[in-house]
Structure 1
Amino acid sequence: MAAAGVTVLALSSSGLVQTSSSAFAAPAREQARTITGAASKCASLVGLHLDAHRFGLPTQGADIDSATLTAADPTSGRPEFCLVRGKVNSVDAKAPDVNFEVNLPTSWNQKSVQFGGGGFNGVLVTGLDAVPGSGNTPTAQARSQPPINRGYATFGSDGGVAVGADPAGSFALNKEALANYAGESVKRTRDAAVGVIKRYYGVQPGKQYYVGGSKGGHEALVAAQRYGGDYDGIIAYYPANQNQAMVLSWYALLQAAYSHPGGYLDLADQQLVNKAVYSTCDKLDGAVDGVISNVQACDRTFDVESLRCPDAATHSETCLSPTQIETLKTAASPFKFAFPLAHGVTQIGPYPALRGADVSAWLDPNGDRRYTAYNSLADPVIRYFIEQDPNGSSVNFDYRQYEKRVKQLSWLYDATDPDIDRFAGHGGKLILVQGASPRDVDTDFRRQRSGYRWFSRS
């Protein structure tokens, strides 16, 4: 199925982004800084300890566990670089450390790129890949150049939430680990990496960038809002920037589809809806090309009621039941909260169920909510974040009974602060990319209060 269009809500970056397939151009003015004796210099980093005073947040310092000079790879275009791995030591002995990787090219352009994570984090982000949004077609991937191939020092981490064989999201029972997931790992990882970079090259990066998508997009906005003085350019792709808002809305969608008899739409029903949507909306942008670009016109033009069965008691291959219609309307309408979340957010959505989007994250092919992406993300958040009970349950969950905790988590995690003056004040540039058909995140990001105020500062 063709994807709906992509909207770039802000674009300005002093050479950081090009219109080509690669987001990172080779430096135009900065002279490369080349390390002599790279093998011995790289090896000397092993055992390096970075004192706690180098960090902007509480830590017990950081330690380098390994440093290996990696030969250039002509096939991939990857240059010779020193691969460094270490950990930021947690304050709470029961909290996971922040494991990180820093990649130091022998010929360095004096810039660095920090990569964000994904999902519940916990997996080491190496920083060796292409940036999010480089494209998923063979041509786009062939043309994409990971930042390290262009001379950038790169780095990432596991977010300080690795749980091993324990259940996903269970780290939230530890206060320090939860704070790391909520955004503090962005700062701890950056401070550790910059310390390593300075030790290796003798200077800090002249420019520091952040890139991330989904959870990494949340972290990108955290970088802009909380640690704006550290970054010169930030790219946030489809940011999952509101943990509580998204989870509560996902749970409502799951309830509509699976807890109301007859509310579920199977694959045939989903195909029926998408065929009707594309038949109505594909042409509204002036080109019948399998891409719905004019989603606002689609919202005005397509009416799901056109698919309602004449006999309200049943549904068939050519129409939907009243309960199925209501399921789709639930997704296509804003979810309004019983109380305001951080920074006055009162609603989220709609989701693009009636814009031709893939809804497989919500509607399992076999009709089992347990195996949906929404449930795999929402259930741990409900049990470990909100209820704070590993033996808890999301069955019949009512967030209104946890108002205090939900608000607390929203203020801890959500990247909805309209104030990015510190970041913008020193010339920082933010690129916010939001597609019209993500399955997991609110596609109407621009309607958020913070979104309007960010762009008023641009």
Structure 2
Amino acid sequence: MPQATTTLLHALLLTALFACSTHASAASYLVKHCAELEGTEVPASVISLPTRGATILSASVVAAAAPKNRNGEYCRLVGVIKAQLDTTPDIRFEVNLPARWNGRALQMGGGGYNGVIVSGTEPTAFAPAASPLSTGYATFGSDSGHVGNSGRADFAMNDEAVINFGYGHLKKTHDVALALIIMGYGRKPEQTYFAGGSTGGREAFTVIERYPDDYDGVIANAPAINFSGVRLMGVKVGQAAYGTPGGFVGPAQQKRVFETVLQECDGLDGVVDGIVSNVEACREHEPQIVAQLRCANGQRPSLRDSCLSEAQLATLEILRDGFTLPYELAFGVTRYYGYNVFQGVDYSSGLGLGNSPVATQPLRFDANGYLFTQGDSYMKFFVTHDLRFNTLGFDVDQPGIYKSRLIDLSATVGAMNPDISEFIAHGGKLITMHGLADEVISPNQTIAFYHSLVEKYGQSIVDSFMRLYMVPGFQHGNGVFIPAWDELGALDRWVTMNIAPETLIGTDIASATNGRSRPLCRYPGFPKYLGKGNVNNAASFRCENP
């Protein structure tokens, strides 16, 4: 049986016996001795941020033939990184060391408020079916330092847990995982990557900004950057919907908006396929779209008539426009950019605007919409620590005693620092993908951050390390077009072979249109139909700038 007192130093002495051996013999040794790592303690001195060290709670070999295992044989390590305070939850993590290691490591980001261990055994989001672990990557992830992903954000009552959620768990998990990889294989990875979407996309930008030398390449999909901004956006939407008489936009109106936009803009890319691809051209049609939606001659919307009142249109315009603050958040941020409300977002599906004209107690995603529910939770748990706080009465522009807290949180969780010069100097590469129809995280915020990098470094420098792909029809994990593509393979080729990705191919995994393909165009391009050929084949399209 393994001894709980086994230390990292002792484990490293074990690996020294084969540190200079072949990959095959090192992997063979790893599999044979995997269980001996149980109880191993990683001292706090190995972890760059303050902790009380880490412990491997379980270590076991997962056989290639094990039920439901599609990853080949690997050593599975599960443990905890101990918080500084007894009142703070530990960070739970998992590290997977494959028997057939390709010499690379991949840290995988979480989603929502995290709260569950990212196992590292599944494919990355929107990737082909094969997982990175099955192709030889050592993978690792964590729960970000708390248990539960209810959307209530209870953990945010604890300041150390907020720091862990914002950035601490990323570095702490990385450092422990790196020590375990060295322990397992006798050497460091040749390349270390990070991949995540939504919260994981924010985490991806966070590691670039805070720990640039730790990663050779990063994937950041639908990144929830400007975290305070998107939560305050939810507050403003909720106030428009529930603090203004008649401001709630019901499911019938939500559906009508999407259908009207499709009728007006679907064919602007040369083909009617259910996707608004030429978003910029669609913006020019917005006056006609709004005119078709507006109730005529004082008519009031009803269950039978899905026209929109002036109050309802005002709610959508807040979503469209975003907001500008009269004060600065961290890194000089004053604005959150709005959504493509009248350019193809379907708020009647997935994480929309809700189905209840009354603000329920407590708020719920289905009843009151994702944005407002999360904005309310943010104010109660992150900002005020007051579960009775009246979010509908909060003045975003004049936050009073909560101003400094909003600013501090935007630095802790926001990932909006445009100074990524160290990542550039290190030779790091970044691929970002975002859906133009995202209803949760504004794609225009991602575009704006991209433009801030171009303004700071110049287009040629940004092109040397970053690729941005804005995908028409793709929402926040759903939509009329959901791309599956080999993003990790594109990143790895860029890092290891200097083959920079250009136009890529995405295969639709939406149930109604599964299997059709489209070009994934570098921003600002969009896929335009050539006028002939199979409309379900990417070869029938070319990338064209608006």
* 2:141 is the counterpart of 1:153: no
Find the aligned partners of 2:457 and 2:243 in 1 and give their Cα distance: 39
In structure 2, what is the Cα distance between the partners aligned to 1:44 and 1:234? Answer: 32
Name the CA distance, whole Å, in 2 between partners of 1:358 and 1:344: 32
Range with bigger deviation, 406-415 or 355-364: 355-364
> Relative to 1, partners in 2 of residues 1:424 and 1:71: Cα closer, same or farther, differing over 3 Å?
same
Give 5+ residue unaligned stretches, structure 1: 1-29, 135-142
Q: How does 1:281-430 map to 2 (within 5 A)?
A: 281-303=265-287, 304-315=290-301, 317=305, 319-360=307-348, 361-369=351-359, 370-372=363-365, 373-399=370-396, 400-401=399-400, 402-430=402-430
Give me the whole-angstrom Cα distance separating, in 2, the residues matched to 1:172 and 1:354. 35
Q: Measure how far apart 1:327 and its partner are.
A: 1.5
Sort the Cα spacing of 1:152 and 1:255 in 2 relative to 1 into closer, same or farther, 3 A.
same
Cα shift readout 1:127-184 (whole Å, capped 9, x = no counterpart):
11111222xxxxxxxx4211001000001000012269x9831222222111011111
Cα distance in 2 for residues equivalent to 1:153 and 1:32: 15
TM-score by length of 2: 0.73
Report the more deviating stretch, 222-231 or 311-320.
Answer: 311-320
Partner residue of 1:23? none
Displacement of 1:78 after TM fit? 1.4
Which of 43, 48, 51 is equivalent to 2:35? 43
Question: Which structure would you say has the larger RCO, counting Cα contacts within 8 Å and 6 or more residues apart?
Answer: 1
Cα deviation, 1:3-23, whole Å, max 9, x if unaligned, reads: xxxxxxxxxxxxxxxxxxxxx
Match 1:78 to one of 59, 62, 71: 71
Question: Structure 2: which amino acid aligns with 1:251?
Answer: V
1:388–1:196: structure 2 CA closer, same or farther, 3 Å change rule? same
Is structure 2 residue 58 aligned with structure 1 residue 57?
Answer: no
Structure 1 pair 451–351 and aligned structure 2 pair: CA distance change class (3 A)? farther
Question: Residues of 2 paired with 1:167 and 1:310: CA distance?
Answer: 39
Which whole-Å CA distance do the structure 1 matches of 2:24 and 2:324 have between them?
A: 52
Indicate if the aligned counterparts of 1:418 and 1:454 stay in contact, CA closer than 8 A: no
> Is the deviation greater in 413-422 or in 367-376?
367-376
Alignment RMSD (CA, Å): 2.2
Deviation at residue 319 of structure 1 after TM alignment: 2.6
Correspondence for 2:447: 446
Counterpart residue number, 1:16? none
Counterpart amino acid of residue 181 in structure 2: I
Give, in angstroms, the shift of residue 352 of structure 1: 2.1
CA distance in 2 between counterparts of 1:99 and 1:340 reads: 35
Deviation at 1:367, TM superposition (A): 3.4
Which residue of the partner structure matches residue 138 of structure 1?
none
CA contact (8 A) 1:32 1:109 kept: no
Structure 2: which amino acid aligns with 1:298? C
- The residue type equivalent to 1:411 in the other structure is A
Please name the residue that 1:66 is paired with.
58
Contact 1:170 / 1:390 at 8 angstroms: preserved in 2? no
Letter in 1 for 2:439: R
- Contact 1:246 1:348 (C-alpha < 8 Å) held by counterparts: yes
AA paired with 1:181? Answer: F
Within-5 A mapping of 1:267-282? 267-282=251-266
- How many residues are treated as equivalent by the alignment? 420
TM superposition shift of 1:347:
1.1
**Partner residue, 1:200:** 184
Q: Which runs of 5+ in 2 are unaligned?
A: 1-21, 463-546
| TM-score of the aligned structures, taking structure 1 as reference length | 0.87
Counting aligned pairs with the same residue, the percent is 36
2:183 pairs with 1:183: no
The correspondence of residues 233-244 of structure 1 with structure 2, limited to 5 A, is 233-244=217-228
